[in-house]
Amino acid sequence: MEPHAHTYEVPMLSQPERDRRWARVREQMDKAGIDCLLAYSGGLSLSALYLTQIDMEGLAVFPGDRDPIFLLPSGDRWLHWAQRSQTWVNDVRPVRDLAAATGEVLEGLAPRRIGLVDFKGMGTSGHTPLMNAVSDYESADASQLVYELRLVKSEEELAMMERAAAAADQAIQALRTTARPGIREHELYAELYKVILAGGCEPASGLSMEATPQPFHPVRKPSTHPLEEGDVVMAHMNPRYAGYFGHPHVCLTVGEPRPEIREMFQVCAEAFETFKASARPGVSLGDACRKTLDVIERAGYDWSKEPLVHSIGLAQNEPPNGGIKSNPYPDFELLENQTFGLHPWVGRMAESIGIDSGRPVRITKDGAVPFGSASTVELYTV
């Protein structure tokens, strides 16, 4: 398969990564008795992106024995982007009626058994016609088949996450040099976001930030509040590079931190190190969470404002989650090269005060290793 002419110069995964990924997917399809996947792409449904590298709404048709097809319901308007922002799929078809086009493709392929991926992510208006289009074929939900493959990252995927982490490191440095009394919160936000984009990350990157003497959880919309002595700046950075997220949570004080802030951060740092040491291949995520949350509880603090840990990759926050109120200790076996956002929250819910800090990490035989230049968390002061 030849790349499209005039491919856009944007970060993208390689042909060898495509071949490795497609071989793994097809191996699992064979085991499940599935000879064609239909993967919906849109919103938080990202497995079609995993299969095709096309980051647009549509439907990926992924046969077991031939090259995939991507059906593009937006028609010709964005066809150039769907074709030229990736080199994995040559057959991108603009369509007016997604369900009808799906039926036509399936008629040509004549699959015995279809795997439906992320169909539950569609709205009712799209879901019903598509289900009618596949009703003549045996089908089963295959979302988990693809999702489980997404959880264990390849070396190339890890490299993309390192690039996101490098951009985040630059933004953290910008925070340390730019945050001063008098600068307004939205001005600081703009500076950090500019640095993230200048690091090669996508506009889909995210940033939540707040500066306040009573930290609790950063907000998604920056205010015009001018930073003052005694403020605590909490920033949740979500740089996205080639589709993959970084996810550091950063805490900075304007002036010397108050004793209660310093104490909460010390507990946060101890919890962070506890998870790093505990999370290894073969260990239950629930066991690692139990040891980590015990650090916070023994210090007399709450932890339930934020998830302690969650998977991260093509989505900024995806299952499994650990250290959440509804399921703090999930029964999930850790595997090498799974990746997580790790950010212990330490505070008092009743008083609406607390801080968190953390880094994205990958699971290795030596424990959870942070992405980026810092191996631990630090309470910054300006």
- Per-domain boundaries in the chain: 15-151, 155-381
Which H or E element spans position 31? helix 15-32
Distance, CA of 380 to CA of 234 (rounded, Å): 11
User: Given CA atoms 102, 105, 111, 117 in this order, what sign does their dihedral have?
Assistant: negative
Average pLDDT over residues 32-54: 95
Please state whether 164 falls in left (phi above 0), alpha (psi between -120 and 50) or beta.
alpha
Rounded to an integer, the average pLDDT of 64-78 is 95
Residue 244 pLDDT greater than 90, yes or no: yes
> Beta partners for 283?
none
How do beta strands 113-117 and 138-141 pair? parallel
Domain 155-381, CATH homologous superfamily name and number: Creatinase/methionine aminopeptidase superfamily (3.90.230.10)
pLDDT at 5 over 70: no
pLDDT tier at 126, thresholds 50, 70, 90: confident
d(CA 358, CA 151): 20
In this prediction, residue 1 carries a pLDDT of: 43
Of 285, 341, 18, 363, the closest CA to residue 165 belongs to: 341
Give how far Cα 144 sits from Cα of 25, 119, 151, 295, 319, Å: 11, 12, 11, 33, 11
> Which pTM value belongs to this model?
0.95
User: 3.40.350.10, 3.20.20.70, 3.40.440.10, 1.10.1200.10: which CATH number matches 15-151?
Assistant: 3.40.350.10
In the chain, the amino acid numbered 112 is R
In this structure, are residues 368 and 362 in contact, taking their beta carbons and an 8 Å threshold? yes
Provide the token pair at 12: 């993208």
End-to-end CA distance of the chain: 53
Q: What is the pLDDT of residues 179-198, one digit of tens each?
A: 999 999 999 999 999 999 99
Quick check: 2 pLDDT over 50? Answer: no
Is the pLDDT score of 171 beyond 50?
yes
Cβ atoms of 21 and 32 closer than 8 Å? no
pLDDT on residue 4: 53
